[in-house]
Amino acid sequence: MIYTCTMAPSVDYTTYLASFQVGGLNRANAVNYYPGGKGINVSRVLQQFNIPSTALGFVGGFTGKFITQKLQEEGIKTDFIQTKETTRINVKVKAEEATELNGPTPFISEKQQRELLKKISQFNKHDWLILAGSIPSTISSAFLEEIAKTCKQLGVRLVVDTSGQPLRQLMTTTPYFVKPNEHELGDLFNKKITSVDEAIYFGKQLVENGIQHVIVSLGAKGAIYLTDDCIAVADPVQGEVINTVGAGDSMVAAFIEQMTAEASKVDAFRYAVAAGSATAFSNDLCDRQLVEKLAQDVSVHIYTDRK
């Protein structure tokens, strides 16, 4: 079973305007409402591939009900922990330039954290847990380490896609698969990464520390995949970028979908790049048809063989 965990989900309210005037009245030409959060995005993309998953995390209030309802309408199972706080709304303004206003992450009590850990402790060997997105400040490093320790004891494949101190802390627990972007990778080593070679150098260090699969997303410069016997570099897919929100999450979902289908690691990476590109070229998350079309256009170069 695949479980996604979004500790600070959101309702993503996206507005589209011809122009945006600071300090004035702005009228949107169109709006969209989506259940948001990186783990939730992974579940939604997996559903596009007909891969079932269960969405975990913390929700509350009318926005929490909206998220639960929308996911269930898409056929996604949910097992959220209810909080007394209203789940945040993230506003995204699409005009001449994109502007975002994200709400604060929720307060998660120790009791609620224990409830999440209890759910994780009931997972089975070879299950997946995708821990993705912002980590609320009330969740300690010790609790994150406890999640990782529980996964390791049970044989659960832990996937990490977060940033900042939580990412640095979780890297010490050697998760199964991580997907930092170039900036997050650089933060891990207190280094500004400016080239593909530098990204490969530091990505290799994660693999040498015991992480089995690493994908480094480089935005418009493509992506890199590193494992113990291969380093592959994907050129960027050409197309009109409409929306970058969820592109990295789409990569995670597509890679896992291909790995569960027992595709080769390089083919799984190719599919992941296609999924990230498909989301970038869409208003919402990618759909399967576009991913499969773009996968034919993804150019992957084997950088080196480390056998």
If you write DSSP's letter for every residue of 146-159 in order, what string do you get?
A: HHHHHHHHHT-EEE
Confirm if 8 and 105 have CB atoms less than 8 A apart.
yes
pLDDT level of residue 176 (50, 70, 90 thresholds): very high
pLDDT digits (tens, 9 = 90+) for 28-78: 999 989 999 999 999 999 999 999 999 999 999 999 999 999 999 999 999
The burial class, CB within 10 Å (0-12 / 13-18 / 19+), for 116 is buried
Q: Is 172 helix (H, G, I), strand (E, B) or coil?
A: coil
The string of pLDDT tens digits covering residues 93-139 is 988 888 889 999 999 999 999 999 999 999 999 999 999 999 999 99
- Write down the pLDDT at residue 303: 77
Task: Indicate if 249 belongs to the active site.
Answer: yes
Q: What is the pLDDT of residues 195-251, one digit of tens each?
A: 999 999 999 999 999 999 999 999 888 999 999 999 999 998 988 888 888 899 999
The answer to whether the predicted template modeling score (pTM) of the entire model surpasses 0.85 is yes
Candidates 13, 8, 34; CA nearest to 133 is 8
pLDDT at 307 over 50: no
pLDDT digit string, tens, across residues 247-296? 999 999 999 999 999 889 999 999 999 999 999 998 889 999 999 999 99
Q: Write down the pLDDT at residue 306.
A: 45
Share of the chain above pLDDT 90, in %: 83
Of 154, 149, 202, give the one whose Cα is nearest residue 178: 202
- Mean pLDDT score of the chain, rounded to an integer? 93
Rounded CA gap, 44 and 282, in Å? 14
Quote the pLDDT of residue 304: 57
How many Cβ atoms from other residues are within 10 Å of residue 74's Cβ? 12
Domain-by-domain residue ranges, the chain?
179-307
Asked whether residue 305 carries a pLDDT value surpassing 80, the answer given is no
Find out whether 217 and 251 touch, Cβ atoms under 8 Å: yes
The active-site residue out of 12, 249, 267, 297 is 249
pLDDT in tens, 5-22: 999 999 999 998 989 988
Note the Cα 149 to chain centre separation in Å.
Answer: 21
Torsion of CA 44, 243, 93, 74, to 10 degrees: -20
Quick one: fold of 179-307? UDP-N-acetylmuramoyl-L-alanine:D-glutamate ligase (3.40.1190)
Contact 36, 44 (CB under 8 A): no
d(CA 54, CA 62): 21
Find the Cα–Cα–Cα–Cα dihedral 137, 141, 143, 149, rounded to 10°. Answer: 150
Q: 19's torsion region: left (phi>0), alpha (psi -120 to 50) or beta?
A: beta
Rounded mean pLDDT, 139-162: 96
The more confidently predicted of residues 304 and 69 is: 69
Token pair 């997050």 is found at 184
**CA–CA distances in Å: residue 261 to residues 49, 127, 197, 267:** 11, 14, 31, 11
Structure tokens that stand for 133 in this block: 């997105």
Sheet holding 88-94, edge to edge: 30-36, 10-16, 88-94, 98-101
